[in-house]
Amino acid sequence: MSVSTAEPGAPEQPPAPTRPPLLHRLVRDPVVISGSVAVLLWGVAALVSPSFADWNQLVTLMTVASFLGVISIGQTLVIIAGGEGIDLSVGATATLSAIVASRFMDGTNDGFLGAVLLALGACCVVGVVNAVGVLAFRVPPLVMTLGMIAVVTGFIRLYTGGRPEGSAAPLLRTLVAGDTVAGIPGVLWLWLGLSVLVVWLLRRSPFGWRLYAVGANRTTAYLSGVNTAAVKFSAYVLSSLFAGVGGLLLLGYSQNVYTSLGTDYMLNSVAAAVIGGTALIGGVGGYLGTVIGAILLTVLDSLLRIMQIGGGEWGDAPRQIIYGLVLVTVLTAYGRQKRLRQ
Amino acid sequence: MSTPAPTRSPAASPAPTPPGPVAQAAQSVMSARMPTLAVTALLVITLAASIVLQPDFFSAYSLSASFATILPVATIAAAQTIIVLGGGIDLSIGTIVTLASAVSVVLMDGDNSRLPLALAAGLATGAACGLVNGLVVAGLRLQPIVATFATSSVFGGLALLVLPQPGGTASPVLTQGFGMVLAIYIPVPAVLLLALWLAWRLLRRHRFGQYLYAVGGNADAAYTSAVPVSAVRVFSYVAGGTVAALAGIALLADSGAGDPTLGTELTLGSIAALVIGGTRLRGGSGGVGGALVGAIVLSLIQGLVFFAGVPTDAREFVYGCIIIVAIALAGLLTSRNGTRRTAAARGKAGTA
């Protein structure tokens, strides 16, 4: 990433703080680019199928995007924390949380709080194991979280015997798909609240500053008195925790669980963060971009579905192909690394 | 059975490299030795346990069956290692395997006379996919993890187009040849595994093999030393894609039919195998030999969990836990990750 929002004016000379013109900065800003692409895709979708522009459709779209958005919160934190940080176990963790919660809720509101706490507790355990592997055993995060997928799916198999039981509590269903406040379902308010919280956390809180410091340069952060291990540890635990919250929301939406519930979120959460301008090298990016990235990916997926690409005799194949091609195109717009010759 | 020879310095021969990379290469040798020892120890332990738990482990039939399942996994791990050594990573490798095997099985369609054509087409498919990945990563300069995730969606979709459902018939010559046992005790897949390792040794001696380590170790230093960095990166993806296609063909020969849906699982297995084999995920250190042994260890563990009488529902969990422990051990030994330490601290870590 040669240009980023997180280091404004960094390449400039200190005595002459003339930043590049506003327009120029906007054109190179990942958040602006992916936001425009998302709006563009949404416009195309509305042209193809006018009902796509309906308020209800929009709300549904945003609801679907919110699952990816919430799961990507933790992914963004882990990536910003640097050291090749990445959490591939978010999909499996989300499934785990949904499965534990559904068994304890079992379609009633009685054990709601207990079930939620238990599910999130299980997710925290996953996060702690990830963090210990990465920090104490020095396993590269990609490999550690990859290995945890095998452990978590294995545990799910052991726990359920291959047949997940139970269903979502009515309360959870109401939150995700039911009653609305000002025409917007609770899950979107929740996402909005979490987004404001996370953006505040990253930009205005000491934890956020430390996170960027550790991600940008661990040694300098350490020498400046930041407890780098604690920061990274909390990033991994938060990642699993938010994956668990995402899993609960998914449970409320689908009402029943299956063992591949969260699988698709594993790499899509990384893609959402990267599309939003969070660089995998760490220390760069933010959650606002990830929100836009999650919306973009969801709009793209729905667009391909309503254009009825896929289905019929070709099956799912053309949609997958186009999805990949668009992803490469969007990434090419700005997600590029530095040239060697500089 | 191929045990990895102690890794030799890639810069030992008179290549025109300045002292920086040479010193680094020397250090990477220091760190590579411990993982090599560790994976050998793991191999010995799992082998011993297998022999104890499976009384007829050394029967011709059992050996042939083990090697037939090991070869595809090991080949994919080898492909991933070539890419990782060059400083990249390929999350699309599993879908390349399935796409190449789908193309081959559709073209051969159970007919022996079309075998050469089908094999050539499969390999060409793998090389083409690798070229696409290489161009996207080195040409467009996208981050390898997300870029290859995007292309994996494309390749997986293409595999579904070519072969919508698991099926197809491999040509009989291929499957029969694969199942043969030479000289009583040596199954054909074992010979192929050895051939793969020899091919790697050959590549490693070649200039490009050394460039691979140079680029993976420090791309900037390699660039200033006149190594064609972009070309080497593209080459690593093309080579990886071609080897992945070989794995696809091996998979086809083993099972006799194609399956377009295996993708992700194969990718994850390949990364686990190479890490257990002592290859550093950042590139520039490790080797295919270790990855092959890592893949053998993984398959043996899978067999062990089965033969140790673990209940069906618990098998996956136990397997996952063993893999995490193996990875953590490998991580401790490969270490040197995280902070950029000073040269002195690095030297200490290397000799520890």
Chain B nearest-CA residue for A228 = B339
**Residue B2, pLDDT above cutoff 50:** no
Cβ–Cβ below 8 Å for B317 and A321: no
From the list A133, A138, A324, which residue is nearest B150 (CB)?
A324
From the list A129, A151, A327, which residue is nearest B150 (CB)?
A327
Chain A nearest-CA residue for B314 = A158
CA B260, CA B248: separation in Å to the nearest integer? 11
Question: What is the pLDDT, as a whole number, of residue A219?
Answer: 87
Cβ–Cβ below 8 Å for A133 and B328: yes
The phi and psi torsions of B168 (rounded to 5 degrees) equal 80, 165
Tell me how close the Cα of A170 comes to any Cα of chain B, in angstroms: 31
Residue B259 structure tokens: 């399956």
pLDDT in tens, A36-61: 888 888 888 888 888 878 888 888 88
Question: Quick one: which of B69, B34, B75 has its CA closest to B291?
Answer: B75
**Residue B3, pLDDT above cutoff 90:** no
Give Rg (Cα) of chain B: 20
Domains and CATH numbers, chain B: 19-351 (1.10.3470)
Q: What is the mean pLDDT of residues B153-171?
A: 85
Tokens 């063909």 found at: B249
Cβ–Cβ below 8 Å for B338 and A153: no
Residue B200 structure tokens: 């790697």
CA B18, CA B22: separation in Å to the nearest integer? 7
The phi and psi torsions of B260 (rounded to 5 degrees) equal -80, 0
Question: What is the pLDDT, as a whole number, of residue B30?
Answer: 54
Looking at B66-75, B195-204, B343-352, which range is the least confident one?
B343-352
Question: What is the pLDDT, as a whole number, of residue A17?
Answer: 55
CA B208, CA B219: separation in Å to the nearest integer? 14
Question: Quick one: which of B233, B237, B231, B229 has its CA closest to B130?
Answer: B237
ipTM of the predicted assembly exceeds 0.85: no
Residue A308 forms contact with B (CB below 8 Å): no
Determine the residue among B89, B152, B160, B346 to mutate to test chain A binding: the one whose Cβ has the most chain A Cβ atoms within 10 Å: B160
DSSP string, A205-240: SHHHHHHHHHHH-HHHHHHTT--HHHHHHHHHHHHH
**Residue B272, pLDDT above cutoff 50:** yes
Q: Which amino acid is at B5?
A: A
Which residues, in sequence order, are CB contacts of A92 under 8 Å at separation 6+?
A126, A148, A149, A152, A153, A156, A262, A263, A266
Which residues, in sequence order, are CB contacts of A210 under 8 Å at separation 6+?
A221, A226, A227, A231
pTM (whole model) above 0.90:
no
Residue A194 structure tokens: 């979490």
pLDDT in tens, A69-109: 999 999 999 999 988 889 999 999 999 999 999 888 877 77
Question: What is the pLDDT, as a whole number, of residue A20?
Answer: 67
Q: What is the mean pLDDT of residues B288-310?
A: 88
Q: Which amino acid is at A151?
A: V
From the list B136, B157, B331, which residue is nearest A139 (CB)?
B331
Band (B22; pLDDT cuts 50, 70, 90): low
Residues in chain A where the model's pLDDT stays below 50: 1-14
From the list A84, A146, A332, which residue is nearest B140 (CB)?
A332
Question: What is the pLDDT, as a whole number, of residue A198?
Answer: 93
Question: What is the pLDDT, as a whole number, of residue A123?
Answer: 95
Determine the residue among B91, B95, B146, B266 to mutate to test chain A binding: the one whose Cβ has the most chain A Cβ atoms within 10 Å: B146
CA B267, CA A169: separation in Å to the nearest integer? 37
**Residue B80, pLDDT above cutoff 60:** yes
The total of other beta-carbon atoms located within 10 Å of residue B256's CB is 17
pLDDT in tens, B310-347: 888 888 889 889 888 888 887 777 655 433 333 333 33
The phi and psi torsions of A340 (rounded to 5 degrees) equal -75, -35
Angle, helices A112-135/A90-105, rounded to nearest 10 degrees: 150
Determine the residue among A86, A226, A328, A329 to mutate to test chain B binding: the one whose Cβ has the most chain B Cβ atoms within 10 Å: A328
Looking at A289-293, B185-189, B260-264, which range is the least confident one?
B260-264
CA B160, CA B176: separation in Å to the nearest integer? 27
Domains and CATH numbers, chain A: 34-332 (1.10.3470)
Cβ–Cβ below 8 Å for A219 and B340: yes
Question: What is the pLDDT, as a whole number, of residue A195?
Answer: 94
Question: Quick one: which of B73, B248, B235 has its CA closest to B162?
Answer: B248
Mean pLDDT of chain B: 81
